Structure 1
Amino acid sequence: MPQNRIVVGLDVGSTKVAAMVGEITELGEVKITGIGECPSNGLRKGIIVDIDGVARSILQAVQSAERMSGQKIVSAYVGVTGAHIYSVNNKGVVAVGNKDGEISVADVERAVSAAKVINLPLDKEVLHVIPRQYVVDGYDGILDPVGMVGSRLEVEVSIIIGASASIQNLGKAVSRAGLHIEGFVLNPLASSEAVLQPVERDLASVVVDIGGGTTEISLFDEDGLWFASILPVGAYHVTSDLAVGLRIPLSQAERIKIEHGCVLSNLMPDEEYIVISNVGGQRKVSKKVLASIIEPRMQEILHMIKQEIKSSGFKGVIPAGVIFTGGGCCLDGLAELAAEHLDMPVRIGYPCNVGGMIDMVNNPRYATGIGLIIYGSRRMASQEAAADSDNNFKSYINSIKSWFKDLF
C-alpha cells in the first residue's frame, strides 16, 4: 500500500507516549498495523517541562511502532491535552452571496470565519473551530446547508483554545524526534472518534478520558462538540495516594493499582490480602484497605467531572450518558461508582471503529491514539474528495477548451 495511505497517531501523555500506525484500505476502513509505547519523560499534567526528554520518549515509541508495522514513520497527527485547554461557543452570521439564494461553500466558509472572531488573549491560540449546526433563515438543526436556498446563513461553533507556548513546545518536541506534524488534535475529540457509537453521537453524550495526569471531558450533542474541558488530575494521583498510604515506591504502587485496584471498598471482603514489599520487609495488606485509599480520590475526580458538566451551560438531558475511557478507567467498580455520583448511564469505552490488530489495542488506554488515526483518515478522505472534485473541474474545462479548438 502506498505511503500516502498510512496514518500515524501520536498520543503524548503524562505517563506514556504511544505511537500508533494505521492503514486506510480501499474501502476506507482503518486497520491498526503497529503500536509502540514507552514511559513518558518530561511532562507533568499534560504540560511539557523537558522538551528533550519528551523528544526522546517520542522517538523511542515511534521506533517501536516502525518495527512492528514495517513502515517508516515520517509524520503524525499529534494529540493535545493539558489544563490550559478550554472551549467557547460562538455564532457567525452572513448574507448569502448568490443572487438566486443558493448557499455555496464560500458562504459557509464566510460564516465560519465570522464565528472565529472572538477576543483572544495574546498567549492563546485557536486549536479547532467545530461547526455544531447551521441556521438558514431561522430554521435550525441543519448539518450541511450547501445547495440549500436562503438569504441569511448562521453557524454555531465550538472554538477550542489553548496556550500558544504549550502547543509550540509540543511541536518542538515532535520536530526534534524527526517527525512532521500533520495536525494538532484535541485529545478528547480524538478519543470520541474511537469509542462513540453512532447513536451516542446523535444523542447527547459525554466522553471522559482518564489519563495519567489529566482527565479530559467532552460533551457531544447531535453529532457536534458542545463543550470540552481538561482537569489537571488523573490516575497518577491514585498511584501517589497508594504510595503514600502504603509507604511503598511509586512503581510498586502503580503495579498494585493495575492488578488489584478497586474503587468500591464495600465490595472488598476483609479476608482477601496482597503482599507488598518495603524497607522493613514484606507485609500483607487487605484489598479492602487498598480500595479505601482509592475510593476517595475517584470520588473527588467524579465530583469535578460533575461540576464541569454543569458549568458547560448545556441545558438538555444527556440520554446516552457518560462513556469513560483512558487507562485510568480500568479500575474495578468505576462504572458503578460513576453512575451513582453522576446520576447518568455509564459504560466503559473500548476502541470500536477499527480493524487489524484489535486484540492488541482493545484497551481504553489506546483510545486517543486510535482516535487520532480515525481523525486523520477522515481528513485524508476529505482532501482526496476535494482533489478529485478539482481534477474533475479541470478536466471539464480542458474538454471545453479542446472542443472550441476543434470547432474553430
Structure 2
Amino acid sequence: MAKQDPYIVGIDIGTSKVCAIIAEADAEGFIEVIGVGSAESKGVRKGAVVNLDATTQAVRHAVEEAESLSGLAVNAAFVGLGGANIKGYNSRGVVAISSRNREISEADKQRVIDQARAVSIPPDREIIEVLPQEYTVDDQDGIGDPVGMLGMRLSVDVHIVTSPITARQNVITSITRSGLLVLDTVLAPMAAAEATLSDDEKEFGVALIDIGGETTSLAIFHRGTIRHTAVFPLGGSHLTNDIAVGLRTPFPEAERIKREYGCAISNRAVDLQRGNGGLVEVPSVGGRAPRTLSREILCDILQPRAEEILSLVHNEIVRAGYERQLCSGVVLTGGGAMMDGMAEVTEQILDLPVRYGIPEGVGGLTERISAPAFATAVGLVLYGYRKKMSANRAPARQQAGALARAASRIKGWLGNFF
C-alpha cells in the first residue's frame, strides 16, 4: 500500500451499483469502516465495463461520497473483478527439490506455482488469479505451507481464474481515470468470502452464491480452500425485467416493485403486514391508468426465474462433484439475494441449509454495510488489510532467512576444522 495513504479502500464495481468503502485499522488489527459511498452503475453489463465514461463517473461519485463521510481524500484502492466471462479451472504443478539438504524453500514454492500456472489459454485471455489449494511433499498431501519441510518432490494443486484481457484493463482504467491507483484486483467471490465465510465453513464445505445485477457467481470451498468457481449470466436484473414485461410497467417501477413487494415463492403467505391486503399498485406505460394486482401474481412471475438461477447453480455444483461435500451448506450474498423468499428457494433447489452472508470482521459504520449487497466491498477491505500486514512482515521474514543461511554457512565452515 502506498505510504502516503494509510487507509484501506475497497471498490466493488457491479452491474447495478458501484460501492466504495474506506476503512482504517488500529495497532491491534481492529478494522473500522469510516466511509461508505455508492452510485448507480450505468456503464456495466453482465459484470463487465461497457462504457468507460459512465463507469468512471459512478466510481468517482461513490468514492467522493465515502470521502465526504470519512473526511479523508484517498488515492488508492483494492478493486473487485467479476463478470460472465470469468472462468476458473484447476491445475497441478510438480518440481524436483534440487538443494543438497532437500529442504523446501520459498523459491521452490514459487517455482512449483509457476509450473502449475504454465497452462495454455487463448491469446485474448489472461490469468488473474492463481489460488494454491494444497501442497504435496513426496507422498504426503494436504500440506498448507511446505516451506522448511524436507522432500525430493514438491507438487501443488491450484485454482486458476482467467478473464478477457480487455475486461480487467477496462476496470483498471475506470479506476485510474477517477484519480485512484489500483493496488490490486481481486476476484469478487473471493472478496465476498473474506467477509462472510468462517474458517469452519470453508473446512467442512460451503457454497458461496453471489446474486448480482446481471450475473450470479458460485465459489465452492472445501478442506479450507477454494475448489471451484463459476459465473452465470443471470441475476437480479432479469427478475426486474420479468416484472417489467409481465406487468407492462416501466423498468424503474419494476425495480421498485421487486424491492418492495417481490417474493421468490408464490405459494407463501402474501403480504399481511403492510395493511394493503397483499395488493400492489402497478404503474402502466403510455399514460394509461395504474392497475392493482395481488402480490401473489407478482410472485408467480418471479418464482420461475429464481428457480432457473438456482437450478443453474445446482447443476454446476453437481457437475463439479461437490453436491455431497457441502456440510456447511450455502451462504447467499449480493443484492439479488435480498429478495424475500430467495433463501427458501435456494434450500428447495439445492437441498442444503442456507444463510445470508452479512459482512463481518469490521466495526464503525456497520449499520450502513450490514447487508449481503456489501459483502464484496467489505471483503476487499479485509483483503487489503491482510495484504498490507503480509507486506509489512516480509522484510522480517527475509532478514530471518538471511540470518539462517549465514548461520548454516558458518556452521559448515566450522565443520571443516572440527
> Structure 2 counterpart of 1:34, which letter?
G
Matches within 5 A, 1:43-192: 43-192=44-193
Match of 1:404 in 2: none
Match of 1:274 in 2: 280
Classify 1:316/1:333 alpha carbon distance in 2 versus 1 (closer, same or farther; 3 Å). Answer: closer
Query: How far is the alpha carbon of 1:396 from its aligned partner?
Result: 10
Asked if residue 15 in structure 1 is aligned to residue 16 in structure 2, the reply is yes
Query: How far is the alpha carbon of 1:143 from its aligned partner?
Result: 0.5
C-alpha distance in 1, partners of 2:236/2:283?
A: 22
Structure 1 range deviating more: 94-103 or 360-369: 94-103
Match of 1:297 in 2: 305
Deviations 1:9-34 (A, max 9, x none): 11011110111111122112221111
Query: How far is the alpha carbon of 1:241 from its aligned partner?
Result: 0.8
Query: How far is the alpha carbon of 1:331 from its aligned partner?
Result: 1.2
> Structure 2 counterpart of 1:272, which letter?
G
Match of 1:351 in 2: 359
Query: How far is the alpha carbon of 1:316 from its aligned partner?
Result: 5.2
Classify 1:45/1:388 alpha carbon distance in 2 versus 1 (closer, same or farther; 3 Å). Answer: same
- Contact 1:188–1:217, Cα closer than 8 Å, also in 2: yes
C-alpha distance in 2, partners of 1:313/1:280?
A: 52
TM normalised by structure 1 equals 0.93
Query: How far is the alpha carbon of 1:225 from its aligned partner?
Result: 1.0
- Contact 1:132–1:157, Cα closer than 8 Å, also in 2: yes
Q: Which runs of 5+ in 1 are unaligned?
A: 399-408
Matches within 5 A, 1:198-347: 198-269=199-270, 271-278=277-284, 279-314=287-322, 317-347=325-355
Query: How far is the alpha carbon of 1:69 from its aligned partner?
Result: 1.2
- Contact 1:97–1:103, Cα closer than 8 Å, also in 2: no
C-alpha distance in 2, partners of 1:155/1:164?
A: 26
Query: How far is the alpha carbon of 1:276 from its aligned partner?
Result: 2.6
> Structure 1 counterpart of 2:362, which letter?
V
Taking every aligned residue pair, what percent have the same amino acid on both sides?
A: 38
Q: Which runs of 5+ in 2 are unaligned?
A: 272-276, 407-418
The alignment partner of 1:83 has SS state of: coil
C-alpha distance in 2, partners of 1:7/1:313?
A: 37
- Contact 1:97–1:107, Cα closer than 8 Å, also in 2: no
Query: How far is the alpha carbon of 1:312 from its aligned partner?
Result: 2.5
> Structure 1 counterpart of 2:348, which letter?
E
C-alpha distance in 2, partners of 1:265/1:161?
A: 38
* Counterpart among 370, 381, 406 of residue 373 in structure 1: 381
Classify 1:222/1:29 alpha carbon distance in 2 versus 1 (closer, same or farther; 3 Å). Answer: farther
Query: How far is the alpha carbon of 1:356 from its aligned partner?
Result: 1.4
> Structure 2 counterpart of 1:275, which letter?
E
- Contact 1:268–1:287, Cα closer than 8 Å, also in 2: no
The alignment partner of 1:290 has SS state of: helix
- Contact 1:268–1:291, Cα closer than 8 Å, also in 2: no
C-alpha distance in 2, partners of 1:176/1:55?
A: 6
Classify 1:50/1:190 alpha carbon distance in 2 versus 1 (closer, same or farther; 3 Å). Answer: same
